[in-house]
């Protein structure tokens, strides 16, 4: 089971900002257009399907095992997308990240993708997954080690658990792309750490028993095997239940 612990959040309720800043907590991207706040909502800085995104620093040291969650207020049509970013690079000229993107009008079935950017291109890891999302719903993307998964309103999206090792670290953030700037709107954001409780428990059990006890009782495989199942590629939804 994964446990999510919030480290930072932003409700965007303040004067308009262009670019999105929050007192310098949001960083402008060296490889993309920024976002902006209009009437307490985050929008793309530009329309015409320009890629707009910003990572959140907050002056914090972010763990590699992290999550990012947005409250989606608007996503007008299939030509628009919006999503939370994790493990986003801030290096000049390098655009790397994981992202869960929604495409389609809210209030009906929309398409969910999990993708990663390698600095030049965006690659789809899973999707499209058909999900129902309404204005005010929350979309979360989390990573623990090489395990990436997506959630809507705290519930795991079926089929969204994947294993990928392209990107190990970075910052959480937000991305949007829209035909017109007001087509995509985000009403809130939060980010934090993720831990695998089952894996941590097994590690503690191994520490308590000690190597000699493991060898004597023959339980080495019994303790290590579940951890391999949790962090490997053959993951089942009951692990996250």
Write out pLDDT tens, residues 139-189.
999 999 999 999 999 999 999 999 999 999 999 999 998 888 888 999 999
Q: Is 127 exposed, middle or buried (0-12, 13-18, 19+ CB in 10 A)?
A: buried
Domains and CATH numbers, the chain: 2-196 (2.60.120.560), 198-240 (no CATH)
Based on C-alpha coordinates, what's the Rg of the chain?
Answer: 19
Write out pLDDT tens, residues 77-127.
777 889 999 999 887 666 789 999 888 778 777 889 998 887 778 889 999
Q: Above 60 in pLDDT, residue 216?
A: no
Q: Above 80 in pLDDT, residue 52?
A: yes
Sequence-ordered strand ranges (E) for the chain: 2-10, 35-38, 41-44, 52-55, 66-75, 81-88, 96-103, 108-118, 122-133, 137-144, 147-152, 155-156, 162-163, 171-177, 184-196
> What per-residue confidence (pLDDT) applies to 93?
64
CA distance 12 to 15: 9
Q: Above 80 in pLDDT, residue 241?
A: no
- Global pTM reads 0.81
Q: Tell me the mean pLDDT in the region 4-9.
A: 98
Q: Please, what is the Cα angle at 104 between 187 and 96, to 5 degrees?
A: 70
Quickly list H helices, the chain: 197-217, 220-231
Q: What is the dihedral of CA 75, 97, 53, 29, to 10 degrees?
A: 180
CA distance 41 to 17: 10
Phi, psi for 207 (deg, rounded to 5): -65, -40
């Amino acid at each position: 089971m994964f446990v999510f612990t919030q480290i930072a959040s932003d409700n965007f309720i303040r004067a308009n900002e262009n670019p999105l800043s929050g007192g310098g907590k949001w960083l402008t991207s060296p490889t993309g257009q920024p976002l902006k706040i209009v009437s307490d909502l985050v929008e793309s800085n530009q329309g015409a399907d320009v890629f707009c995104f910003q990572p959140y620093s907050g002056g914090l040291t972010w763990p590699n095992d992290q999550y990012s969650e947005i409250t989606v207020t608007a996503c007008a049509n299939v030509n628009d997308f919006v999503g939370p970013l994790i493990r986003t690079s801030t290096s000049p000229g390098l655009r790397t990240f994981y992202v869960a993107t929604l495409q389609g009008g809210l209030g009906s079935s929309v398409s969910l993708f999990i993708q990663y950017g390698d600095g030049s291109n965006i690659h789809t890891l899973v999707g499209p997954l058909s999900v129902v999302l309404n204005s005010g719903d929350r979309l979360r993307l989390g990573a623990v080690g090489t395990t990436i998964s997506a959630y809507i309103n705290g519930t795991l999206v079926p089929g969204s658990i994947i294993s990928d090792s392209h990107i190990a670290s970075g910052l959480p953030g937000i991305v949007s792309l829209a035909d017109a700037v007001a087509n995509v709107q985000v009403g809130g954001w939060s980010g934090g750490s993720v831990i695998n409780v089952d894996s941590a428990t097994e590690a503690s059990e191994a520490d308590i028993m000690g190597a000699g006890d493991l060898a004597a009782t023959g339980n080495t495989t019994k303790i290590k095997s579940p951890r391999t199942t949790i962090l490997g590629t053959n993951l089942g939804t009951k692990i996250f239940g």
